[in-house]
Structure 1
């Protein structure tokens, strides 16, 4: 490398390097929603360290970057920000643009988390919600809410359902695709291979939806007529929760509710719940519903103790 080239490299800002790194390593290699998170990180870099030359990135100014970001974000969000930067930084170290890894021993801080919404409903609350639904007429968002509550499908999976996905004789619905409600690109693949699955539905749902979808185009989504927004359905769900006098949850909270009721009240195994939800592994289910699993373990301990105390 001649002196002119060396001088050009010395002038590269970390923002410019990170932008190029995204284009080369991430664009087209990750889902759009993930790529957009990296782009948001780039926007924050331009705001916080627009002129920092990459060779000058060290542990001190990297920690200062994290601290300034953490001042307006919760700790988990700051952790995600750190992880999205670290890959590019380690590549810059490998490329000889930075002498040492400035992310080593980084301290992750963040704002105190804001009060969280309820993530799921109990059995009594879910019954009140379903009783408040308006399902006396044609397909609407109340029917959508009922279906998600009874199947545990993801929002995008339920949006992608077509009449062909229902097998009413076997009382199943097939999840094989998702609907891109964010970019409007139509059908997309599922989140992972395990997400392709058949979900058993109860006879009531089977009879109701058999009548609802009978005259609809077989390969077109039954709930999507115009542009769909997650906020639209969540707004409707919020009104229903308030009407029923129960905690306000999101549509994704219906998925958590479904899993929670299966684990706590129906006694379904973790493996079966994982398959029904389309999780890649039981580890995902265990991590997501650790609090419920611990509650079940406490019940098991009580049952064991009662059994043992009855032995003479």
Structure 2
């Protein structure tokens, strides 16, 4: 019997795994859920499992401590022992940058490996794999001494994006589009927040100043801020009090929240959240806008990748407003 394996570590990866099951009509599907022990994050993934039938769901704890990383190659070999006698037809994975995930993929024998979307990371795939920093090279050299299997993986992309010089199969979100019912639209803007402060991409003060400009852009509408799961709620609360806006914290992906909602906003906005690309598939009548900050507002280490993201937004026909 042939099996199909889906390796996921985020809610969006789960969503795209379900779309892959629909698109490829796979059977005998095994879901490998990678996690760090974060219960909130894990629960967000679990909320989506019932959308598809899985023959088996296995949980793998990713290493955080140095000692766990040292023994990871052996630990994962033991954890995947049940897979050794199974013939894998297709392997789907949502993360290409993690050495631990790459080791898992290289530990499983398969005929084909597909890369699922996980945010906007895939837009910079070629740069990521061709321009290893010295730090990354040293880390991987150490991991290889610890028996990590880090052979370069050739992916077929199952994606909503255009990736240069790569084989692509378009993800049209046909499964979740079937779940949509009629919606009532209200005169509200949902601003999709991002953990730019937490990731060191933008200072809290700059983030606040950019939000002031965006709120002024939508002064004729009610403005509701949608907090990202990786944002510190204290930061969001501070901004909410200072700028006098309402914020919401969803238990699952905003895409799923909107699919299930009976009332949806008339407009969505963000800096560069992936949701601004996926949501039009489900709510085509809403307006979608991305706001682009001046480079001086952004940590210079992130400017190139962010610039590539806005180029893709422009290519896709999204409305880009310069702040």
The normalised TM-score by structure 1 is 0.34
Q: Which has the greater radius of gyration?
A: 1
Structure 2 length-normalised TM: 0.33
Hey, which of these two has a bigger chunk of strand by percent? 2
